[in-house]
Amino acid sequence: MRDVLKKYFGYEEFRPLQEEIIENVLAKKDTLVIMPTGGGKSLCYQLPAIQLEGLTLVISPLIALMKDQVDTLKANGVSAEFINSSLQPEEIYEIQDRARNGELKILYVAPERLSVDSFGQFLKKVNVQLIAIDEAHCISEWGHDFRPEYRNLKKLRNDFPDVPVIALTATATIKVRRDIVEQLHLQDAKIFLRSFNRENLTYFVQPKKGVFDQLMVLLEKHRDQSVIIYCSSRNTTEELAYDLRKEKFNASAYHAGLDQQKRSSTQEKFIRDEINIIVATIAFGMGIDKPDVRLVVHYDLPKSLEGYYQETGRAGRDGLASECVLFYSYGDKMKQDYFIRQITQENERLMAEQKLDQVIEFCELQHCRRGYLLKYFGEVWDTVNCANCDSCMTPKEEIDATEISYKILSAVIRTGERFGANHVVDVLLGKGTKKVKELGHDDLPVFGVEKHYEKEEIRHFITALLSLGFLAKNDGQYPTLRVSDLGKESLKYRQKIFLSKPKNVKIAGTKKQTGDLDFDQELFNKLKIFRKELADQKNVPPFVIFSDVPLREMSHYFPQSLESFARITGVGAMKLTQYGEQFLNIIQDYARIAGKEEIVIPQRQKDMKAGSSFERKAQSGKLNDSASTERKSQSSGTTFQKTKELFLQKLTLVEIAEQRGLNPGTVLTHLETLIEDGEQIDIEHLALEPGRLRQIRSAFKEAGGFTLTPVRKILGESFTYEELRLARVFIQMEKRVSM
């Protein structure tokens, strides 16, 4: 599998869960994958598709996504096509002929295509070996983006009862996961759930004051980078895009009211880096495969946390640091409340109200936003401070809020403890609304007693009082307020109350991510321009040639040979052949003029399994006790200790794997981590045949490091990766003893 991974996709190692998912798929078992955007879901069916004899059928919801995926696969040397309404009948017939003849590995289709009888007849003549269903949450009415046409997939499952199905989604609550399994009739499906935590994304919620000026500063900071701005209405997208163009920003609007040709053209220009800012309604973005979006702005309030997570997930799909900024005002909630009240179906209306309330709670949080999101999706999150959202990055400044707190508590009591925060605020500010007057609340002593704070600031203090337990919410359909026992006690004894100060408007600053490279910006820009030229020649988006990640690596390491270039992330066999010499020429010329020297590319800590840091320290002669403690928390875990006990019983890798229910590669990872952390384990019973060990040792020496791929290339396919990894453990143990 690693050979296929490097040859076609350019990666040395799998990301978390990918290998286990692929093994499950190749074992012909149904699979449900819940993995965040940018986590590598597509590879989980694309790599098996290459290895399987027949065709993999992929159900995908959007035409643009299909085209991008197919362009990328073709650039990597994989035979793939799509069938959708953008093609002429003769083009579809040709693709179907190729599929029947076994010339295709992967075929993308829209769910609507499955209701066409002639297409169903075509599929029966094809050797379908795997069915992949992308954006699987669309099949669930509980999901944030239910699509009735996804119900056509039931028929597909009935027509191919023995073909395994892999369903994939980035956003699914527990209820939606159960619905996906039920609706698709997945049999004994293994569910793979990766953390929803997108570590490279920084979350900000900003007060919606002077919002256009705030946006200007953000866009200036991200000038010439890809940006998506979400608005709640079509008119707002048009007006904001127009205003941005007047400010010399390259922006276009996108919404469902535009004709299909205009929408397709705008999306295509964005993907090809000809427009860098899209101002859109939620009609834009599902399935967008653009990896280098650096900023996602919610100009208006999202309707649900699922939608918000999905939309922010379009930022930083390449794993590089990106920002997500939401501008919040309670007035936006009032607008959405109006539209929710127009929903005639009661259950649907109640669900919409509940989802909006969760968004408001997220916006008004006094603690970690990342933790709130993760817990919403059912994930355990014990970290108090994520250090990468505005709540955690900004020190809380507390003020003596006794006076405003007493006014709020008194207003809640005086109005009968049966109204929400908005009504209480109106009373305190002396707003003579129709509701306030009808209830006679304009005659209360607390009416108009607060003039020092604005509406949003008072709401901030109400939220703070709720979080500290001075206020509580009543049970029932609407979140009305009451004063808790703690609040009543504070009023009675006139205790001081200290609360966090309302946030001032400030522009977000992205936290530097662990592993971010300091790259040469000038070389990066040259490579980016050349990438665009190549992409235009081939009529594909620039990221199909290379994403920003490999360009940054090229601009940091300055590779001077094809061998070095091949070790750049994302450089597979096809891309090395097609583009290696051309990109090398630019890098070599720049390095010569700028006086830059090649930097040896190390094993990748993010992409490698446990053991990579040990390899680097062993090569540099810096392996010591302090180094071993870096990973102690991993090897001290129960799962590692169980593996250690079996090694001490002199069991082989295969025997341990069988007992633990793991694959041998995972057992090797445990061994590497245990050895690195200074565990004393006698593994002589695992020793390789002396002659083969000598050959491997010689190959590592020739390769000049402990990277597996160059060594495998030297030795040939008669040496397995597991054998090389095991030999590497013995060699590194020898080095350790000699130090």
603 domain residue, yes or no: no
701 domain residue, yes or no: yes
Residues 186-210 pLDDT 10s = 888 999 988 889 989 999 999 888 8
More confident of the two residues 567 and 677 = 567
Are both 285 and 386 inside the same structural domain? Answer: yes
Judged by DSSP in three states, 398 sits in strand
Structural domain boundaries enclosing 525: 521-594
Instruction: Please state, for a pLDDT cut of 90, what percent of the chain lies above it.
Output: 36
Judged by DSSP in three states, 308 sits in helix
Q: Which amino acid is at 302?
A: P
513 domain residue, yes or no: no
Q: Which amino acid is at 611?
A: G
- Return the biggest CA–CA distance within the chain: 96
Judged by DSSP in three states, 354 sits in helix
Containing 594, the helix (H) or strand (E) segment is helix 573-594
| 18 CB burial (10 A radius; 0-12, 13-18, 19+) | buried
More confident of the two residues 264 and 163 = 163
Contact 91, 39 (CB under 8 A): no
Contacts of 346 (CB under 8 A, 6+ apart): none
Tokens of 695: 């050959």
Are both 11 and 160 inside the same structural domain? Answer: yes
Contact 114, 44 (CB under 8 A): no
Q: Is the pTM of this model over 0.85?
A: no
| CATH assignment at residue 691 | 1.10.10.1390
Q: For the chain, how many structural domains are there in total?
A: 5
CA distance 38 to 514: 17
CA distance 374 to 376: 5
The pLDDT score that the predictor gives to residue 316 is 92
Contact 252, 99 (CB under 8 A): no
Contact 700, 694 (CB under 8 A): no
Are both 410 and 461 inside the same structural domain? Answer: yes
Containing 252, the helix (H) or strand (E) segment is strand 251-254
| Range name among 157-161, 548-552, 683-687, 706-710 with the lowest pLDDT average | 706-710
| CATH assignment at residue 57 | 3.40.50.300
Residue with structure tokens 């209360």?
A: 444
The pLDDT score that the predictor gives to residue 137 is 85
Check pLDDT > 50 for residue 343: yes
Containing 555, the helix (H) or strand (E) segment is helix 548-557
Q: Which of 504, 490, 503 is nearest to 403 (CA)?
A: 490
Helices 455-467 & 402-414 angle (0-180, nearest 10): 90
Per-residue three-class SS string for 162-181: CCCEEEEECCCCHHHHHHHH
Are both 725 and 640 inside the same structural domain? Answer: yes
Tokens of 194: 């990766």
Check pLDDT > 90 for residue 256: no
Q: Which amino acid is at 186?
A: L
| Range name among 283-287, 332-336, 587-591 with the lowest pLDDT average | 283-287
Of 393, 425, 445, which residue is a domain's last? 393
Handedness of CA 640, 645, 649, 654 (dihedral sign): negative
Tokens of 562: 């094809």
602 domain residue, yes or no: no
Check pLDDT > 70 for residue 357: yes
Of 393, 420, 437, which residue is a domain's last? 393
Strand partners, 280: 230, 254
Residues 680-736 pLDDT 10s = 788 888 888 888 999 988 988 887 776 666 777 788 878 876 788 788 888 877 766
Are both 439 and 545 inside the same structural domain? Answer: no
Residue with structure tokens 């704070």?
A: 453
Judged by DSSP in three states, 530 sits in helix
Mean pLDDT of the chain: 84
Contact 284, 226 (CB under 8 A): no
Residues 210-228 pLDDT 10s = 899 899 999 999 999 999 9
CA distance 653 to 671: 10
CA distance 3 to 5: 5
The pLDDT score that the predictor gives to residue 613 is 34
pLDDT band at 331 (very low <50, low <70, confident <90, very high): confident
CA 618 from chain centre, in angstroms, equals 33
645 domain residue, yes or no: yes
Check pLDDT > 50 for residue 437: yes
140 domain residue, yes or no: yes
Are both 47 and 143 inside the same structural domain? Answer: yes
Tokens of 509: 């600053």
CA distance 277 to 216: 12
The pLDDT score that the predictor gives to residue 443 is 92
pLDDT band at 324 (very low <50, low <70, confident <90, very high): very high
Contact 409, 465 (CB under 8 A): yes
CA distance 661 to 205: 44
504 domain residue, yes or no: no
Helices 346-363 & 369-376 angle (0-180, nearest 10): 150
Are both 650 and 566 inside the same structural domain? Answer: no
Compute, in degrees rounded to 10, the torsion defined by CA atoms 111, 117, 122, 125: 110
Contact 544, 76 (CB under 8 A): no
User: In terms of residues, how long is the chain?
Assistant: 739
Are both 122 and 233 inside the same structural domain? Answer: no
The pLDDT score that the predictor gives to residue 711 is 79
Tokens of 412: 């809640």
| Residue 661 backbone zone (phi > 0: left; psi -120 to 50: alpha; other: beta) | left
Tokens of 304: 């649900």
Check pLDDT > 80 for residue 603: no
Mean pLDDT within 626-638: 39
pLDDT band at 106 (very low <50, low <70, confident <90, very high): very high
Mean pLDDT within 87-100: 91
Tokens of 166: 């892999």
Looking at 21-120, which runs of residues are DSSP E strands? 31-34, 55-59, 80-83, 106-109
Are both 727 and 659 inside the same structural domain? Answer: yes
Compute, in degrees rounded to 10, the torsion defined by CA atoms 404, 407, 413, 417: -50
| CATH assignment at residue 458 | 1.10.10.10
| 735 CB burial (10 A radius; 0-12, 13-18, 19+) | middle
Looking at 260-321, which runs of residues are DSSP E strands? 277-280, 293-298
Check pLDDT > 80 for residue 508: no
507 domain residue, yes or no: no
Residue with structure tokens 């040395």?
A: 12
Strand partners, 59: 109, 133
Are both 407 and 427 inside the same structural domain? Answer: yes
The pLDDT score that the predictor gives to residue 617 is 32
Judged by DSSP in three states, 481 sits in strand
Of 161, 193, 225, which residue is a domain's last? 193
More confident of the two residues 127 and 143 = 127
Are both 316 and 389 inside the same structural domain? Answer: yes
More confident of the two residues 628 and 660 = 660
The pLDDT score that the predictor gives to residue 511 is 58
Are both 42 and 135 inside the same structural domain? Answer: yes
